[in-house]
């Protein structure tokens, strides 16, 4: 039972109502329409006509109804660009729901596909708020919250042997590759397994390792195992004052021990903003591993999969390039350093 009238049905309605004088309910039955649809259509198309004796009469006119319908259609605006491109719609939904990408990242990836549809970022968000996409709010990345900048305190107390971030050379311009920020990501409360996360400041490259526990021996033993591949790309590491980053550990790799003694820097207490890139990267990891999950149930292969997804995610910061793509674009610059 369609509620929309075609031009042909309007002329049928005009004949039934004006010539055959059928009731509205009978017309609804014959045209297979709801009674309210017939009532509204007659109201829309009723106009005033003159009789031969110049008296007026009210009569339904199909031409009047058609003209009003066409005029009302002009208020609809342009049709949605995404209307018939189901592949594009499915692609965007998949990137959001399966890969936990933002609309910006998903839209940038779509440019590499042969879709007929091309829309801007604001249009995608309008579609989302209009429920065009099959995406729930809980499946969207968390909106950015701007926090207050850390204010330098008058007194600083550090444990003996730790190098303060104040001793580190100024790397705020992010001109050089090789300055890393380091942190751990905890799992469900009461569990021991965690993630060791290193974020390169210039390219936002993400390196993730799974640890059995949060002891300093676990942190440094993992870095010792990969140090030969890692030592040529790293210049400094900045971390917080957590016990897992304590240097009270008997290093087996003397090169790593020397690096830690000279190039490992600690932030001020309660100043996570001094590792801003690392903190933002941790939020990306939380899209895949919520705080309520035990990290031990995730395999090393899945952790590597998360790392690759983050490093291949298009970023507005780099003009649509991913961390890997941006790193490749500055490869010559890195080799010259």
List, for residues 119-137, the tens digit of each pLDDT value: 899 999 998 988 888 888 8
Quick one: pLDDT band at residue 156, thresholds 50, 70, 90? very low
Give the predicted TM-score (pTM) of the model: 0.70
> What does the pLDDT read at residue 132?
87
- Residue 5: in which H helix or E strand, if any? none
User: What is the DSSP-derived secondary structure letter of residue 295?
Assistant: G
> What does the pLDDT read at residue 141?
79
Three-state SS at 179: strand
Range scoring the smallest mean pLDDT among 8-17, 72-81, 111-120? 72-81
Three-state SS at 22: coil
Range scoring the smallest mean pLDDT among 119-128, 152-161, 256-265, 324-333? 152-161
Cα within 13 Å of Cα(327), Cβ side: 17
d(C-alpha 15, C-alpha 331), whole Å: 78
CA distances from 278 to 184, 231, 300 (A): 10, 19, 21
Assigned token pair, 118: 């091309």
> What does the pLDDT read at residue 63?
92
How far is the first Cα of the chain from the last one, in angstroms, to the nearest whole number?
73
d(C-alpha 227, C-alpha 255), whole Å: 9
| Residue 311, φ and ψ in degrees, nearest 5 | -75, -20
- Residue 10: in which H helix or E strand, if any? helix 7-18
Interior CA angle at 179 toward 239 and 151, to 5°?
A: 50
Cα Rg of the chain, angstroms: 33
């Amino acid at each position: 039972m369609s509620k929309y009238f075609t031009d042909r049905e309007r002329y049928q309605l005009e004949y039934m109502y004006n010539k055959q004088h059928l009731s509205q309910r009978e017309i609804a039955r014959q045209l297979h329409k709801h009674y309210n649809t017939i009532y509204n259509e007659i109201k829309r198309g009723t106009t005033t006509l003159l009789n031969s004796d110049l008296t007026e009469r009210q009569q339904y006119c199909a031409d009047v109804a058609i003209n009003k319908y066409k005029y009302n259609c002009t208020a609809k605006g342009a049709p949605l660009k995404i209307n018939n491109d189901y592949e594009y719609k499915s692609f965007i939904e998949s990137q959001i729901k399966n890969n936990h990408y933002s609309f910006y990242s998903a839209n940038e990836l779509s440019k590499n596909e042969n879709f007929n549809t091309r829309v801007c970022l604001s249009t995608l968000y309008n579609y989302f708020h209009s429920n065009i996409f099959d995406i729930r709010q809980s499946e969207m990345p968390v909106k950015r919250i701007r926090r207050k900048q850390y204010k330098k305190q008058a007194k600083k107390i550090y444990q003996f042997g730790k190098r303060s971030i104040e001793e580190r050379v100024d790397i705020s311009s992010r001109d050089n590759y090789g300055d890393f920020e380091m942190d751990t990501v905890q799992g469900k409360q009461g569990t021991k397994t965690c993630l060791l996360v290193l974020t390169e400041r210039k390219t936002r490259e993400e390196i993730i390792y799974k640890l059995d526990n949060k002891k300093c021996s676990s942190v440094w033993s993992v870095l010792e195992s990969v140090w030969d591949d890692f030592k040529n790309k790293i210049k400094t590491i900045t971390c917080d004052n957590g016990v897992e980053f304590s240097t009270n550990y008997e290093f087996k790799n003397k090169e790593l021990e020397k690096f830690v003694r000279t190039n490992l820097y600690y932030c001020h207490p309660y100043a996570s903003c001094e590792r801003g890139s690392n903190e933002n990267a941790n939020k990306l990891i939380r899209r895949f591993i919520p705080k309520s999950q035990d990290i031990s149930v995730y395999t090393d292969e899945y952790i590597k999969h998360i790392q690759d997804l983050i490093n291949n995610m298009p970023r507005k910061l780099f003009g649509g390039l991913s961390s890997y793509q941006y790193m490749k674009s500055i490869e010559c610059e890195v080799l010259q350093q």
